[in-house]
Structure 1
């Protein structure tokens, strides 16, 4: 680095961090320190957020060694009160000068529209960065988002874990600071076992290389990539491919400083257990990566990442194999025990499980969903009997031992148990798909019956929770109703199911327990769903004007999400046509003209009263296209309908260029207003295109 800049290194060494906290704390610390430098006016270059299980570190390049000098101006009292009638300084002037550390003669005058004022101008010399760093570090650490802090020893300070060492350097120089009772220095610590001795850092630039020599990969991205490539290579080496879950990879990355990839095996007899249960055991309990063959079948192998480079890897592998066996044995035991009884025989147990105090048990909820699903079966082209059966069984796997041990397998195990019980394949699949989409990027259910159950289940939950007054408020959404609404809407739209949302929610509300006025909550619930729909389109990149163009023409008591989606996409297509801007502007103009008109236009246009060539041409063009447009609208082909209406651009433009709408003849005026009203209605049958950007 130059004489003007230096590399800054800050490392906080401690006991092993919770794996879920490492990435966030590392990023937040780097952002906070860089922000502190920026607030102090200290320029810098690239910022690196580094970290490992026993350390948080920040390395910043080209940090200016001092603040820049800063010109300042401090305003004092008005001259009218700063000097008496004889021009002598008053106590106000002398006090201001004294506070500035100068004499009254050193003060200057500032002329403003409000009068003249005394001012003190000068240049403040920038402080050395090393003087600023202790305050910046302390502020950054005190503002880290740590929900649960701890004390250690006789310290009164608190942090996420006990702190054992602190490094703070500018190039080769140590910057003195005391953090959590520990003085800064230039010594870090290496791997707990491979390099327990201190690591002396000669220069801040040497950090990552020095730590690598001490068996610690402090670059989180480098360490993660090392693990990823190692796990992939090991999977190929043992004849398969590793199943790499991104969250598990991040967790393992936060647990090891010196990753060493190893593989082990387990008894092939365990493969009779559903693979999802085995994978949950391996990933959730042991943090192992499962392995599949070329056909996607689970192999009796696993990959683990050790935090030590053992001289005897076979012993490490044997230890891991010994640990995983009882976990898999538990899964096999639960599988065998659960299969001893059918799902049907367990249904009665749902009556002992409370869904919500005012809404009854899971058995009550299942029957409500079954009734609703059977009613809407034809809209999803499914069998009503299968819909009822699937809904009655959908929650039963919650009372099995496997799901009690592995809650994340709900639905998945229901599918397996239903298949074992001989239930219809569509019913078995729906027991799993009812939970889709499980998260934002998840797909909706693939089968119509699965989508029907997903919609009915969410409609019951939404109406029930709204009925008991537990609608989401602010950021609080304990029943995940926002996610439920999005899942319902996506299932209807992406599944291409023409279902009236308002009618669906009314039907769901009618099935809620007696004594709850669920019907009264349908309107606010529809509005709630529309806001979720607005959010979906926003995330997909559609402008708010497209949503408003459709929302303004659809009554709240007749919202069909699939139809809404088709209209919005049609507006999106229309907006890209060359004629769109002109026609959007024309519709705005028509709206304003009709609003300001003193009369109500006739319902029909009188063709005989059209005397101007431009108005006759517009009327003819409209009537020629009207039958085709109406037919396309009836089919839901809104994009095609708007494309036909876009052909009206030239006659519309000629009309406004050559025709005076507000004629002195009242009859002519009324007829021209009727013509414009007719044109407006042709567009409003699809959307209010005046909400779209116009060519002006």
Structure 2
């Protein structure tokens, strides 16, 4: 058996930069899976990806699959032979199908009977025999939403394919994929090495392409870009704005990165930095530079895909391209400032939020009303929150936001400051969109938090109120994101808010618009359901979350405290036993006909074990109640954890369902009090041992 390095490369036209990494990962995973499932032995699998190629390199790969014994079971012996011991048609047909005489069949004996058996040695296929199909199947599995055809070919792929290389050590594996024959010619850099390069051995892949001005390893190319831009930024006395998505996209756009810097007119710095950054990053894939105080420098770094003999020409070209875009931003800013935000609000009447819920103007009015009420509840400036709520959507009609939608909110903040609105109002306008995605910043001001909650609550209650409940993956109004964002704000900022009260406030602002009679319950259920996703992302066990959800606490901060307490409780030595005991208690009480008595008659407690449990429960309850008064659920559970021994003793020595009706009901009442003591925090009977 030989063991060599395998190299598979597909050479293409420029691949979509934002999809390059996912395509590469999927291609590598598919090849690796097929080799593993095919029984091939190998050591390391590496992926390579550049704008014009996807490649996989597999080291120490066996040249063939191992031989194996295949067992083919035939008919049962009592069916295979007749009463005279002659083979039946079924047996003869089976033998003929396996290419043997019936006498050559072995016997398989099990406790369920005896069968005919044929053991055949199956020779393993060589890599050369299976690889073309493996590659073809791997390419079919790639996440390609819209494959294309090219020329007169019937082949389909995300981009036209020009080369295919399947090289095992120095041996070229013949075959055709996507109507391209395998060869050892690799595409080089489009400008520095248009003639390409011949690959003579799979181990030489990276080095050969490097000679052709291609850094094939995505991570190495990315690291080279980071090193170059950081060195240039240091030289210019600035720092690069961190953006992993931009780095990945630029890495996917170039094969031979060369970092250069260019400048723009300092007059453009009179424009807020956000639209300038959007212009440079999103439109041109540049890396803006900022000073230590966060302000922009009038320079930017860009990555060229060539080593120019005259870099000044490349720099001048990029400066010429970006100047009109920055001039546009400057024009929009100066024009927008002529119309105060307050004057823009009326125009929002012509911008539709949702056909049944009215305009963005109506939404702004509702947000303003809700924000003022929420601000009062959390000790914020109600008038500032109300004003911010009214103005928070006004920048949607500005030319800047129409041109650069990513700047909504932040431009409202800048325009509010220009208009002389209070700083609390301006900040809240920006913060009301937060958090925009998982892990995003939260509002830092209480006024901003009030407006952010109001905005998200308005969308949730409004959309649910007209019966448009999200189903499956369909969530056109991003209600799940709004719900999780709302909960994050309340929990992380420790705001004293109750979801039931918030939903009532929101309902009151809609008047008679809402048509669903169950909107309050539906929204509450939806919000409570988001707790599970939120805490699962933090690594908290599902049954811990369910134990708290069973009690339906509607204050998010309270919910958080309970979850943390149950999580801590689970680390106690008594946790498993107490969870099991609560399950047992729950099952016993579920079978009781009628209501369980709430009062315990101590005169009926005769067994020492039930007396001990009663006394221990009274003491633990007193301590737990004191802790619960301070919302210290962890301390309360810790107090109840001391009940493990008396509970165990009770179940070992006491018959709950005693013959005496009064004694039986009294013992059920004792268990009922025990159960209620734990249910004041969570239903720990739902915890898995």
- Please, what TM-score do these two structures have when normalized by structure 2? 0.95
Matched with 1:173 is 171
Contact 1:52–1:257 (8 Å) recurs in 2: yes
Matched with 1:215 is 213
Q: 1:682 aligns with which of 668, 677, 684?
A: 677
Matched residues in 2 for 1:112 and 1:535: separation?
49
Matched residues in 1 for 2:585 and 2:654: separation?
13
For 1:520-548, what per-residue CA distance to the aligned partner results, in whole angstroms no more than 9, with x for missing partners?
23223222222211111111111122222
1:111: Cα distance to partner? 4.1
For 1:25-68, what per-residue CA distance to the aligned partner results, in whole angstroms no more than 9, with x for missing partners?
11111111122222222222211110110111111111110111
* Secondary structure, counterpart of 2:191 in structure 1: coil
For 1:237-282, what per-residue CA distance to the aligned partner results, in whole angstroms no more than 9, with x for missing partners?
1111111310000000000000001111111111111111111111
The 3 A distance-change label for structure 1 pair 159 and 663 is closer
1:370: Cα distance to partner? 1.8
The answer to which of 55-64 and 679-688 deviates more is 679-688
The 3 A distance-change label for structure 1 pair 161 and 602 is closer
Matched residues in 2 for 1:101 and 1:625: separation?
79
Matched residues in 1 for 2:189 and 2:148: separation?
24
* Secondary structure, counterpart of 1:50 in structure 2: strand
Q: 1:637 aligns with which of 617, 632, 648?
A: 632
Matched with 1:586 is 581
* Secondary structure, counterpart of 1:21 in structure 2: helix
Matched with 2:572 is 577
Matched residues in 1 for 2:510 and 2:130: separation?
63
Q: 1:673 aligns with which of 668, 673, 677?
A: 668
1:190: Cα distance to partner? 1.2
Matched with 1:43 is 41
Show structure 2 runs of 5+ residues with no match. Answer: none
Matched residues in 1 for 2:581 and 2:41: separation?
53
The 3 A distance-change label for structure 1 pair 623 and 102 is closer
Q: How does 1:454-493 map to 2 (within 5 A)?
A: 454-493=452-491
Matched residues in 2 for 1:97 and 1:617: separation?
76
Q: Does 1:405 align with 2:403?
A: yes
Q: How does 1:155-166 map to 2 (within 5 A)?
A: 155-166=153-164
The 3 A distance-change label for structure 1 pair 624 and 116 is closer
Show structure 1 runs of 5+ residues with no match. Answer: none
Q: How does 1:102-113 map to 2 (within 5 A)?
A: 102-111=100-109
Matched residues in 1 for 2:86 and 2:679: separation?
78
* Secondary structure, counterpart of 2:345 in structure 1: helix
Q: 2:442 aligns with which of 426, 441, 444?
A: 444
The answer to which of 47-56 and 318-327 deviates more is 318-327
* Secondary structure, counterpart of 1:20 in structure 2: helix
Matched residues in 2 for 1:586 and 1:79: separation?
55
Matched with 1:389 is 387
Q: Does 1:97 align with 2:92?
A: no
The 3 A distance-change label for structure 1 pair 235 and 627 is same
The 3 A distance-change label for structure 1 pair 77 and 319 is same
Matched residues in 1 for 2:276 and 2:673: separation?
66
Matched residues in 2 for 1:402 and 1:466: separation?
32
1:429: Cα distance to partner? 0.6
The answer to which of 249-258 and 356-365 deviates more is 356-365
Q: How many residue pairs align between the two structures?
A: 689
Matched residues in 1 for 2:177 and 2:597: separation?
82
* Secondary structure, counterpart of 2:17 in structure 1: coil
Q: How does 1:612-631 map to 2 (within 5 A)?
A: 612-631=607-626
Structure 1 consecutive aligned stretches of length 4 or more whose deviation exceeds 6 Å: none
Matched with 1:352 is 350
1:333: Cα distance to partner? 0.8
Matched residues in 1 for 2:38 and 2:611: separation?
72
Matched residues in 2 for 1:602 and 1:36: separation?
65
1:88: Cα distance to partner? 4.7
Q: Does 1:563 align with 2:558?
A: yes
- Please, what TM-score do these two structures have when normalized by structure 1? 0.94
Matched with 2:74 is 76
1:648: Cα distance to partner? 3.7
